[in-house]
Amino acid sequence: MPVRSPTVRRRRLGMELRQLRESAGLTIEHVAQTLECSDSKVSRIETGQVSATPRDVRDMLEIYGISGQHRDELMQIAREARQKGWWHAYGDVPVPPVVAFEVEAYSMSIFYSLLVPGLFQIEDYARAVMRAIRPDLPARQIDRRVELRMARQTLLVKDEPPALWVVLDEAALRRHIGGRAVMHQQLERLIEVAALPNVTLQVLPFTSGEHAGLDGDFTIIGFPDPADPNVVCISMTTSDVWLEEAEVVRQYDHMFDLLRAGALSPAESITFFENAASECKV
């Protein structure tokens, strides 16, 4: 049975409810008045920002005249949307939105310019990154964030893992995060990851000059069900965002195509990792 992400379920439910409301020719204001709730609550349910209770969904479907199998399917999605994902065990630290999306991903296209992506980081590398980004945090908070990052990596080897295509700027591989010894281990880890059947790794060399990813890192996540449109996740130090407008996602798809076209081949990239790791030996 495929893993269900409550975040993805909530997003799907919101889109379905919005389409049903529009098909019924009703406004958000009318639905809110009928449900005796605020307009903003209906809007947040439709955009997937909040989880609707099964009662809310049942009442909305009644307003839209939905019954039978379609109603039962949406009620099941509503129940799944209120379940807790594995990451809720880390509620004491910020959990990036990408975590809730990647658990149900069918494919992930990732570009990173300054760091190795979290899914591939070794523990010492991750700890060095977090200490540098958040020097104000106590050691225990750093440890918990590292634990979360390591827990995410089970995604790589689970049954039916997503297909990952990753482009790394050479800058992410030249900076000795954590020192030479840690960077050597990190590069060795990249060689291991590149051997996984579901992972394609490419290096974008300095010689490529200017490129489509100069504006920053991003991750495009695709889902197995066509009813769940692709989403672009962008992580930042203080907040994370995700973009789902179809035209915006298409633009990022095009950017990623340009990046991988300008990168070294997967075989050449492995040779790059090997040479860089050799240079980092203490």
Whether residue 77 is contained in a domain is answered as: yes
What average pLDDT does the structure give for the chain? 91
Whether residue 111 is contained in a domain is answered as: yes
The parent domain of residue 165 ranges over: 93-279
**Using one digit for the tens of pLDDT, what is the confidence trace for 3-19?**
567 888 888 888 888 98
In this structure, are 210 and 105 located in the same domain?
yes
Whether residue 88 is contained in a domain is answered as: no
**Using one digit for the tens of pLDDT, what is the confidence trace for 45-97?**
888 888 888 899 899 999 999 989 999 999 998 888 888 888 889 989 988 88
In this structure, are 121 and 236 located in the same domain?
yes
Tokens of 169: 């700027």
Instruction: Provide the domain count of the chain.
Output: 2
User: Using CB atoms within 10 A of its CB, is residue 107 exposed (0-12), middle (13-18) or buried (19+)?
Assistant: middle
pLDDT at 239: 67
Report in angstroms the alpha-carbon separations of 215 from 10, 53, 69, 160, 212: 30, 39, 46, 32, 8
In this structure, are 243 and 140 located in the same domain?
yes
Report in angstroms the alpha-carbon separations of 58 from 44, 62, 105, 261: 17, 6, 28, 48
**Using one digit for the tens of pLDDT, what is the confidence trace for 196-234?**
999 999 999 999 999 999 999 999 999 998 889 999 999
Whether residue 145 is contained in a domain is answered as: yes
In this structure, are 197 and 71 located in the same domain?
no
Q: Final residue of a domain: which of 42, 60, 83?
A: 83
In this structure, are 105 and 31 located in the same domain?
no
Tokens of 81: 């949307």
pLDDT at 137: 94
CA separation for the pair 191, 193 (Å, rounded): 6
Whether residue 149 is contained in a domain is answered as: yes
In this structure, are 125 and 233 located in the same domain?
yes
**Using one digit for the tens of pLDDT, what is the confidence trace for 140-161?**
999 999 999 999 999 998 889 9
In this structure, are 55 and 100 located in the same domain?
no
Whether residue 1 is contained in a domain is answered as: no
In this structure, are 72 and 118 located in the same domain?
no
Whether residue 171 is contained in a domain is answered as: yes
Show the 3-state SS of 142-182.
Answer: HHHHHHHHHHHHHHHCCCCCCEEEEEEECHHHHCCCCCHHH
Predicted confidence (pLDDT) at residue 1 exceeds the cutoff of 50: no
**Using one digit for the tens of pLDDT, what is the confidence trace for 112-128?**
999 999 999 999 999 99
Tokens of 43: 């809007």
CATH code for the domain in which residue 256 is found: 3.30.870
| Percent over 90 (pLDDT), the chain | 63
Predicted confidence (pLDDT) at residue 246 exceeds the cutoff of 60: yes
Whether residue 161 is contained in a domain is answered as: yes
Q: Final residue of a domain: which of 29, 50, 83?
A: 83
In this structure, are 183 and 153 located in the same domain?
yes
In this structure, are 59 and 97 located in the same domain?
no
CATH code for the domain in which residue 43 is found: 1.10.260.40
CA separation for the pair 98, 111 (Å, rounded): 14
In this structure, are 155 and 66 located in the same domain?
no
In this structure, are 60 and 124 located in the same domain?
no
Q: In b/e form, how buried is each residue of 145-160, taking b as 16+ CB within 10 angstroms?
A: bbebbeebeebeeeee
CA separation for the pair 35, 77 (Å, rounded): 20
Q: Final residue of a domain: which of 57, 83, 109?
A: 83
